[in-house]
Structure 1
């Protein structure tokens, strides 16, 4: 029997959506359980700027992760592989 084939794009979208939903749920439930409100910001503190005289580019990436983000991504992975 052939194994299931998974698209990498589907996996990325599912994990991102799971992290977003988990983050919103953690923010909502942090009213009753304060440790859910704690988050860690991972990324660059200030943007990197490339100035080419006629074109100025700035680049910055940051991720705010909390417990809900991690749990949401794990649940999304589990659901993705169960379907």
Structure 2
């Protein structure tokens, strides 16, 4: 029986690649200067909704470094190599 590659597999590999790449990038930033550069993309302050009985805050921000980019590339490459 042949396994099909679905969107779930792609999302899982991308998430693992970004997380693992981020950890490796943070670790290597102490030793290799190229990994210490980071770019933050997202909101600076959270959006808050106060309805008197519940308060909801929302903040979305992404932090990229060289490790996350390498992890992302490896995840995409491995997605196309999975049979």
Report the Cα distance in structure 2 between the residues aligned to 1:6 and 1:37, rounded to whole angstroms: 35
What is the TM-score with the length of structure 1 in the denominator? Answer: 0.86
Aligned-residue offset at 1:35: 1.7
Q: Name the counterpart of 1:64.
A: 63
Note the alpha carbon deviations across 1:22-52, whole angstroms, 9 max, x for none.
Answer: 1111222222211211111111111100111
Report the Cα distance in structure 1 between the residues aligned to 2:23 and 2:53, rounded to whole angstroms: 41
Report the Cα distance in structure 1 between the residues aligned to 2:56 and 2:31, rounded to whole angstroms: 43
Pairwise CA RMSD: 1.4
Unaligned runs of 5+ in 1: none
Unaligned runs of 5+ in 2: none
Count of aligned residue pairs for this structure pair: 80
Segments of 4+ in structure 1 off by > 3 A?
Answer: none
Aligned-residue offset at 1:80: 1.4
